[in-house]
Amino acid sequence: MDILKKSVLELRELLDKGEISSREIVQAYIDRIEKTEPKLNSFVTLTFEEALKDADRADEMIRNKTHTTLTGIPIALKDNISTYHVKTTCSSKMLENYRPPFDATVVELIKQAGMPILGKTNMDEFAMGSSTETSYFGPTKNPWNLEYVPGGSSGGSAASVAAKQAPLALGTDTGGSIRQPAAFTGIVGIKPTYGLVSRYGVVPFASSLDQVGPFARTVAESAALLSLIAQYDKYDSTSLNNPRPDYLRSLEKDVKGLRVGVPKEFFIDGLDAEVEQAVRKAVKALEDQGAEIVDIELPHSDKALATYYIVATAECSSNLARFDGVRFGHRSENTKDSVTMFKHTRAEGFGPEVKRRIMLGTYALSAGYYDAYYLKALKVRRLIKEDFDKAFTKVDVIITPTTPSTAFKFGEKVQDPIAMYLSDVFTTTANLAGIPALSMPAGLSSNNLPIGVQIIAPSLAEEVMLSTAYSIEKALGSIGLPELEV
């Protein structure tokens, strides 16, 4: 039996029937990581010993029938999610040796469910970037073609799932960091409604935008992981305390009569023709199943990127103030007094993209510029949210491309921040509006790179987002996983 090819739900059945153990599953993934990791660099830290111990505990839970849907299924975690005593570096020199004294709430949920953790995945430094090229530990490669980026910032998590190094992974999405790498690596990635998943213990980038979410090979597997992590948390003041459905159960709802919005602002000059074709095919698949396709407008979408890069940098300049060499992380040796120590610590510990963001954000918040930049950005953010509110009176879900193009090559955009920021042109609106969005594979380009389609839904309407995705997946069929020569 090829364990790596089995879906999480197939593994569940085999585990329940006693035909396989969690230890065997974890060992198969460890072997695969050992073989492929020298090529991919998806991980910053590997935790195989703990994973095998967790697997034994999971096998015991299964024997005692105290297990749940994901017990015994291994997972990889983005390295900005705190893990007790296991390095959590944010792929930064600043936190190179940082071991948190506690688990993030999502990690607690994963441990309680008996999911063995294979390791911590590579990312753009402090989640700032779209290619993993800003990682202090070197970039992750795209398993479809090693010359191409896997996207970012959660590029390690995405590559690990696409390359069968892990069946599931968690990432974070502030402006597209789950959906864009999911699109570039041909898998499913979800950014949940703001407040659906706890941010407690997740190193903050821009707190009003950050959300944790799942990566999986298929819609159903992503729904199973979302059900596990979407829990109210009293330790996160923005956590929503509403009833949570079982997302796995919501998939089969048919799309007959579903009103699907196609916003003209997302089909613009610069959109790759093959990407457009694939997205239109996904829309057509829904129409063929009885959905009603509606042309809609989201008129402020062209302001989203500028708004995002003010709000996100402003919040990051404040959030990253804590890295001063006093409480945790890197401390400069060059410390003649405390002010020099702060300065040198930050100059040595942060990479160039993080410094650029802190400076931009500090500028946008400074007296004299606050009204012109930050306050104005908040007003435009409201207009973007109102565009969606209006659209969702006419439609149930919205379909767009996830990214304007397929994956790009290493070095292509890293010297040009604006070109890099443009990779997020279709993903930031959902973060600004706080609403859920999912990316799923919609086909392959002529040079054999995955194309992603994005489904956006109203606040807390994850169920209709998932059932729409499931219908598209059934109609289009799978693009498969990359053949990675090892």
Cβ distance 130 to 154 under 8 Å? Answer: no
Interface with ligand GLN, residue 403, by CB under 6 A: no
Q: Write the CB contacts of 318 (distance below 8 Å, at least 6 apart in sequence).
A: 361, 365
Interface with ligand GLN, residue 185, by CB under 6 A: no
Shortest gap between Cβ of 423 and ligand GLN (angstroms)? 6
Interface with ligand GLN, residue 192, by CB under 6 A: no
Q: Write the CB contacts of 265 (distance below 8 Å, at least 6 apart in sequence).
A: 297, 298, 299, 301, 302
Site size for ligand GLN, by CB under 6 A? 14
Residue nearest ligand GLN by beta-carbon distance: 177
| The two three-digit tokens of residue 40, written as one number | 């991919």
Q: Which is nearer to ligand GLN, 51 or 312 (CB)?
A: 312
Cβ distance 61 to 134 under 8 Å? Answer: no
Q: State the Cα–Cα distance between residues 369 and 162, nearest whole angstrom.
A: 44
**Helix (H) / strand (E) containing 188:** strand 188-191
Q: State the Cα–Cα distance between residues 67 and 115, nearest whole angstrom.
A: 10
The footprint of ligand GLN on residues 139-168 (CB under 6 A) is 153
The footprint of ligand GLN on residues 75-94 (CB under 6 A) is none
Shortest gap between Cβ of 313 and ligand GLN (angstroms)? 8
What's the sign of the alpha-carbon dihedral 89, 92, 96, 100?
negative
Shortest gap between Cβ of 310 and ligand GLN (angstroms)? 12
Q: Are strands 168-173 and 188-191 parallel, antiparallel or unpaired?
A: unpaired
Q: Kindly write out the interface string for residues 165-184 of this chain, putting x where it contacts ligand GLN by CB under 6 A and - elsewhere.
A: -------xxxxxx-------
The footprint of ligand GLN on residues 101-140 (CB under 6 A) is 127-130
- Asked about 177 being catalytic, the answer comes back as yes
Q: State the Cα–Cα distance between residues 143 and 49, nearest whole angstrom.
A: 25
Shortest gap between Cβ of 247 and ligand GLN (angstroms)? 22
**Residue from 153, 239, 317, 439 carrying the catalytic annotation:** 153
Interface with ligand GLN, residue 202, by CB under 6 A: no
Q: Which is nearer to ligand GLN, 80 or 345 (CB)?
A: 80
Interface with ligand GLN, residue 193, by CB under 6 A: no
The footprint of ligand GLN on residues 404-443 (CB under 6 A) is 424
Q: State the Cα–Cα distance between residues 208 and 234, nearest whole angstrom.
A: 17
DSSP letter assigned to residue 195: T
Interface with ligand GLN, residue 205, by CB under 6 A: yes
Q: How far is CA 37 from the centre of its chain?
A: 20
- Asked about 78 being catalytic, the answer comes back as yes
Name beta bridge partners: 148.
Answer: 409
Shortest gap between Cβ of 328 and ligand GLN (angstroms)? 21
**Residue from 21, 78, 120, 439 carrying the catalytic annotation:** 78
Cβ distance 316 to 209 under 8 Å? Answer: no
- Asked about 42 being catalytic, the answer comes back as no
Residues of the shown chain interacting with ligand GLN in the complex, contacts defined by CB under 6 A:
127-130, 153, 172-177, 205, 312, 424
**Catalytic annotation, residues:** 78, 153, 177
